[in-house]
């Protein structure tokens, strides 16, 4: 200010309401001065990532450091440790599931969730169920929320309509790894084949179906209500299963291919 506006130091300090002692006081390098505090705090946080400020403060006191809480809090905030620290979600270790298809209906079902929004921007979910033998869609449940109990109820309906599968292939979503769902599968004697976390290609058949469902239904319409989503989906499923050719099935629709599988199983 003194050089830019040609003011004396006394006048500049009066304008800035700053004492001349503060003006002549040398600048402090806080990083150098607080080096020991920074190192001690970072060492505690590296070992205990979920500790808050006061636990770090008490730990440093227990280690013999005499810094008061005001200085610790200033350094703690400058290190941005007062902000929520995101930790990596612990995912279970899974064995890679081979994509071998047994040519038999109800051998393996594949299930997966999808998200979309209504015109009012309200989010809804879908639970898609697929038979891997013929890539046929067994059913799609649509709701704002699909917790584990609703998954169990919907799969029970699918079993009543199509029979019970030997195994279910799915990802590691909270609904599918919940105690309620895993216990239900044990009671039904259904094997759960969890794919490895972050490997959707291990559930490729349902992922390919999801793409088709999104292209031909979810992205093709503007929905005002869940009833509209359900109605359009119910009208689309018979066309997908009975009319739409599937390249990997020799250009046959899933329903026609299922007939050939059942004919092969029937003894002559």
Average pLDDT score over residue span 139-160: 96
Report the DSSP pairing between strands 123-131 and 108-117: antiparallel
pLDDT of residue 227: 96
Does residue 244 sit in helix, strand or coil?
A: coil
| Cα 25 → chain centroid | 53
Give the three-class secondary structure for 241.
Answer: helix
pTM equals 0.66
Beta bridge partners of 130: 110, 137
Contact status, residue 2 vs residue 16, Cβ threshold 8 Å: no
Instruction: Note the pLDDT of residue 23.
Output: 72
C-alpha span between 64 and 42 (Å, rounded): 16
Residue 118 has pLDDT above 70, yes or no: yes
pLDDT-derived band at 84, boundaries 50, 70, 90: confident
Domain with CATH 3.30.420.10 in the chain: 108-265
Question: Are the CB atoms for 63 and 56 separated by under 8 Å?
Answer: no
Residues 243-267 have a mean pLDDT of 84
Q: What is the pLDDT of residue 92?
A: 67
In sequence order, the 6+-apart residues with CB closer than 8 A to the CB of 108 are: 101, 102, 131, 132, 133, 165, 166, 167, 168, 169, 193
Residue pLDDT, tens place only, 14-68: 877 878 777 777 777 777 889 999 999 999 998 888 889 999 999 999 999 999 9
pLDDT-based confidence at 95, cuts 50/70/90?
Answer: confident
Rounded CA separation 251/258 (Å): 13
Asked if residue 217 has pLDDT above 70, the reply is yes
Residue 62, pLDDT score: 93
Superfamily of segment(s) 108-265: Ribonuclease H-like superfamily/Ribonuclease H (3.30.420.10)
Give the Cα separation of 242 and 116 in Å (integer): 25
Q: Tell me the mean pLDDT in the region 233-247.
A: 94
155-181 residue pLDDT tens: 999 999 999 999 999 999 999 999 999
């Amino acid at each position: 200010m003194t050089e830019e506006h040609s003011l004396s130091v006394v006048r500049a300090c009066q304008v800035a309401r700053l004492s001349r002692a503060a003006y002549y006081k040398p600048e402090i390098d806080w990083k150098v001065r607080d080096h020991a505090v920074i190192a001690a705090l970072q060492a505690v946080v590296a070992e205990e990532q979920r500790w808050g400020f006061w636990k770090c403060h008490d730990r440093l006191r227990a280690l013999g450091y005499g810094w008061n809480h005001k200085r610790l809090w200033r350094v703690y905030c400058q290190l941005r440790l007062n902000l929520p620290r995101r930790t990596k979600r612990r995912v279970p270790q899974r064995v890679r599931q081979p994509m071998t298809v047994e040519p038999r209906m109800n051998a393996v079902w594949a299930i997966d969730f999808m998200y979309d929004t209504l015109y009012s921007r309200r989010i809804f979910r879908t639970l898609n169920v697929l038979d891997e033998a013929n890539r046929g869609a067994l059913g799609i449940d649509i709701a704002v929320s699909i917790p584990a109990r609703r998954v169990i109820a919907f799969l029970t309906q699918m079993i009543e309509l199509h029979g019970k599968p030997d195994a279910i292939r799915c990802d590691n979503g909270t609904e599918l790894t919940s105690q309620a769902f895993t216990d239900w599968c044990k009671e039904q004697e259904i094997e759960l084949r969890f794919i490895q976390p972050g490997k959707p290609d291990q559930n490729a058949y349902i992922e390919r179906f999801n793409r088709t469902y999104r292209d031909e239904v979810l992205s093709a319409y503007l929905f005002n209500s869940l009833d509209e989503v359900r109605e359009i989906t119910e009208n689309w499923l018979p066309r997908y299963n009975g009319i739409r050719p599937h390249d990997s099935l020799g250009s046959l629709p899933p329903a026609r291919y299922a007939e050939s599988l059942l004919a092969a199983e029937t003894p002559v």
